[in-house]
Amino acid sequence: MKAAVSLLALVVLLVGCGEPREVDGGGLEVAARDGARKIPAAIEPQRGAALLLHYECARCHDGRGAPPPPLEKQCVGCHQAIEGGTFEAPRDVLAEWKGRLHSLPAAPRLSVAAALFTPEAIADYLQNPRDRRPSLEARMPRLAIDERDARDLAAHLASAPSPWPAEERAMEVTAEKVDEGRRLFQAKGCDSCHGESRGGSGLGVVLAPDLRDTPRRVRRERLAAFIADPGAAGGAMPRTPMRRDEAEALAAFVLEGVPEGDPATAAVAFERLPLLERPVRFAEVEARVFRKICWHCHAEPAYARGDGGPGMTGGFGFPGRRLDLSSLRAMLGGYLDASGEPRSLFARTASGTPYLVAALLARHREEAGDEGEVRGMPLGFPPLPAEDIQLVESWIAQGRRR
């Protein structure tokens, strides 16, 4: 309980202004800039440590104490091994795989989130992941995580000691600092990664976030220290030589000079295409859709060294659904629903759409901010193009020809 109260005191400092007071029903109320805010008392960092393992955060992220899983369960680690040529596979197969890696070998370290962002911001993002890195194709997947789990997991991350222990102080932001920071932002090349052009290459560029909602997420007293020495928190951002006052000016510009807004990529208007009149057979759909991306999460365990992926044997907090998309015969076997009952992948939903197609369409709705009962697929990646969904839907409508 003492740790929870300490964390709440930190939240009070971040939301700003006023000492907390106890309220009926438990919890604390703080006077924040945007009005009184109640913070639940039952924040449990210890429970959050177990949740870090339950949701398998280390499959994609490292840097916060979670032991890495076996290679066959590492999404990012496996792709990094392929990229580096250390993955055990025939040379021709390895060369083929390298051409399909996209941006998955890159993922931010949890130590950066723990050091830089507020617990509230982390919890919000876990429940409402949004695209904040325009150069990174892979996305944070939409997990089945409730408010309590998100809060406790965020509390665990935020309980990490600061990598800059001497920097725990409020920073005064003045108009002069903002103007100087604006000048330095261009002079030191910050806009080459965080600007609209995003020139250059490398991990630092790929992981460079859109800065428009940074003031709402960041621990303001730590931002200047991070800009001066991002490596202390394990950040991929390159260290740029600068004085302390220059780091503070850049932080002031990010906090007060960057136009506010939602950094999420604007959802592209989706128009469902009519069914194709030409014959569509499984071989075409398999090559263009299922083998292109679906096998990573839906395949026989033998295909991936003992792990069939989150959609097959379970993972990221999801139970195993036994959904295998590696062959037509396997697909006809269906999947297990939330109650463990077998269901057909081609059964119609309430809207009359085959379940498989409904999941592909749902991914487009999720990008537009509409999260329905059907979880969108592919998990953690951009939606499939309308032409690919049209192909799948036409194949099903034509009787799922071999």
pLDDT digits (tens, 9 = 90+) for 42-80: 567 789 989 998 999 988 888 676 777 777 778 888 888
Interacting residues of 175 by C-beta distance below 8 A, sequence separation 6+: none
Q: What is the pLDDT of residue 14?
A: 31
Alpha-carbon distances, residue 266 vs 191, 259, 371 (angstroms): 21, 16, 16
Of 55-64, 179-188, 214-223, the least confident: 55-64
In whole angstroms, what is the distance from residue 311 CA to residue 292 CA?
16
Is-contact 54 148, C-beta < 8 A?
no
Residues of the chain with pLDDT > 70, as a percent, come to 82
Q: What is the pLDDT of residue 97?
A: 78
pTM over 0.85: no
Across the chain, which distance is largest between two alpha carbons, in Å? 69
pLDDT tens for 73-126 read 788 888 888 888 888 888 888 888 787 777 777 888 888 999 999 999 999 999
Does position 27 have pLDDT exceeding 90, yes or no? no
What DSSP line would sit under 245-314, residue for residue? HHHHHHHHIIIIISPP---SPPPPPP-PPPPPSS---HHHHIIIIITTTGGGTSS-GGGGTT---TTTT-
142-150 contacts, C-beta under 8 A, 24 or more apart: 142/366, 142/371, 142/375, 142/376, 142/379, 143/55, 143/316, 143/317, 144/317, 144/318, 144/375, 145/55, 145/317, 147/123, 148/42, 149/51, 149/55, 150/122, 150/123, 150/124, 150/126
